[in-house]
């Protein structure tokens, strides 16, 4: 299997981007990644795009070719990959395989979502859950994650304040990220006083509706130093499926797909959680930040809340968590998230993360979830 490296990364500002279209947004991210890698568009041999639901958000399918066309890159092969909110992470895995297989050398992997062009994005987002058994009955994602949070509180004594700390730490980091949707600090009190969405989750426990795009450039590891002095190597790419509907799970305080993908990734990389210097995990709701560090093995089951309360997950703690600001504060344009996570880890490992730099980071991990855990994708990257 050919090893793969990342030689370029980009992310547009995340937010409500009224002044730019879907196709311009991803093209902008692509051009910036190409410039960052120091290559030309003509060097690209293939493109992979992670996107959850352009069909429902902007009434456009067939988007990978549309993007290749709009960016002047035809006739390169352009493939869209979809796995709900894990579409970006899965597109990255597909791009890695395209190189590992020997089919292609220089590959652009992008992620994009334009969520603010519809009046109500909720029905589109709900298609990541089980339409027949969940969405059609009126269950939405905040309510699904609220049940997971409530059960976690019941089983492990996780507190409302500990949940709030996930958002507080995300915002601490986002305040230092100029590309974040909400680059400001917040307090536990502000979280606890924000409007109720689905008990116990309040507005400041929830990731926002976002527009945004992100891209990375991949090449075979043995060629990476032809392009850059600071290549980032893919040590593991793992992916697992899980039950779509929450009621089918043995235990809703655990996301089995995360557990499986995490174990596979650590095995593939020959590493353990303690070897990892920085993580970007899928905190679509505050509870998921806690589940992620538990299910990936960074802390014992049930001790995730305490890790946030004690600040272990702060940028200068033992488990530097979401230096980008995470889904909560960097923003969560669904298909772009998995790529933005990888881009942040690339910048961290290169030492280019500015005021939010985790000192001396050499190994990073990304964790991208679809739905309530029907999909999990984990990547381990190293300097």
Active site residues: 85, 332
Closest to a second copy by CB, 131 vs 194, is 131
CB hemisphere CA count around 288 (13 angstroms): 31
Q: b or e along 249-285 (b: 16 or more beta carbons within 10 Å of the residue's beta carbon)?
A: beebbbbbbbbbbbbbbbeebebeeeebbbbbbbbbb
How far apart are CB 117 and a second copy at their closest, in Å? Answer: 11
C-alpha to C-alpha distance for 375 and 359, rounded to whole angstroms: 31
DSSP assignment of 184-241, as one string? S---HHHHHHSPEEETTEEGGGB----EEEEEEEEEEGGGGGGT-SS-EEEEEEEEEE
How far apart are CB 365 and a second copy at their closest, in Å? Answer: 18
Closest to a second copy by CB, 2 vs 225, is 2
**Beta-bridge partner residues of 240:** 376
CB hemisphere CA count around 131 (13 angstroms): 5
Closest to a second copy by CB, 242 vs 323, is 242
Tokens coding 69? 């066309």
Binding site for a second copy (CB under 8 A): 1-2, 21, 52-53, 55-56, 58-66, 68-69, 73-84, 90, 93-94, 97-98, 100-103, 123-124, 127-132, 135, 237, 239-245, 248, 256-257, 260-261, 370-371, 374-375
Closest to a second copy by CB, 39 vs 107, is 107
How far apart are CB 223 and a second copy at their closest, in Å? Answer: 17
How far apart are CB 137 and a second copy at their closest, in Å? Answer: 13
C-alpha to C-alpha distance for 137 and 242, rounded to whole angstroms: 21
C-alpha to C-alpha distance for 337 and 278, rounded to whole angstroms: 17
Closest to a second copy by CB, 104 vs 315, is 104
How far apart are CB 348 and a second copy at their closest, in Å? Answer: 26
Please answer whether residues 383 and 349 qualify as being in contact, where contact means their C-beta atoms are separated by less than 8 angstroms.
yes
């Amino acid at each position: 299997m050919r090893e793969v490296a990342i030689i370029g990364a980009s992310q547009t500002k995340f937010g409500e981007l009224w002044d730019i279209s879907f196709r311009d947004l991803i093209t902008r991210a692509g051009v910036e990644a190409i410039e960052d890698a120091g290559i030309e568009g003509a060097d690209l041999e293939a493109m992979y795009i992670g996107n959850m639901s352009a069909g429902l958000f902007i009434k456009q399918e067939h988007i990978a070719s549309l993007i290749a066309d709009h960016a002047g890159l035809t006739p390169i092969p352009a493939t869209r990959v979809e796995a709900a909110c894990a579409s970006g992470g899965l597109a990255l895995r597909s791009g890695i395989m395209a190189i590992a297989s020997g089919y292609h050398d220089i590959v652009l992997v992008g992620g994009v979502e334009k969520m603010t062009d519809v009046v109500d994005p909720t029905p589109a987002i709900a298609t990541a859950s089980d339409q027949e058994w969940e969405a059609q009955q009126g269950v939405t994602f905040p309510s699904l994650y609220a049940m997971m949070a409530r059960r976690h509180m019941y089983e492990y004594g996780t507190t409302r304040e500990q949940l709030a700390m996930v958002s507080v730490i995300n915002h601490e980091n986002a305040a230092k990220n100029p590309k974040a949707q909400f680059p400001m600090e917040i307090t536990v009190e502000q979280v606890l006083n924000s409007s109720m969405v689905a008990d116990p989750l309040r507005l400041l426990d929830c990731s926002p509706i976002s527009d945004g795009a992100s891209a990375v450039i991949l090449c075979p590891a043995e060629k990476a130093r032809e392009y850059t002095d600071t290549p980032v190597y893919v040590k593991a790419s793992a992916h697992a499926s899980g039950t779509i509907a929450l009621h089918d799970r043995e235990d809703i305080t655990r996301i089995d797909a995360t557990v499986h993908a995490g174990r596979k990734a650590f095995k593939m990389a020959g590493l353990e959680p303690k070897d990892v210097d920085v993580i970007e995990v899928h905190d679509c709701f505050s509870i998921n930040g806690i589940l992620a560090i538990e299910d990936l093995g960074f802390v014992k089951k049930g001790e995730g809340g305490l890790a946030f309360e004690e600040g272990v997950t702060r940028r200068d703690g033992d488990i530097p968590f979401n230096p980008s600001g995470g889904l909560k504060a960097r923003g969560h344009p669904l298909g772009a998230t998995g790529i933005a996570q990888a881009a942040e880890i690339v910048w961290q490992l290169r030492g280019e993360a500015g005021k939010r730099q985790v000192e001396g980071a050499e190994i990073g991990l990304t964790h991208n979830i679809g739905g309530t855990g029907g999909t999990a994708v984990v990547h381990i990257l190293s300097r």
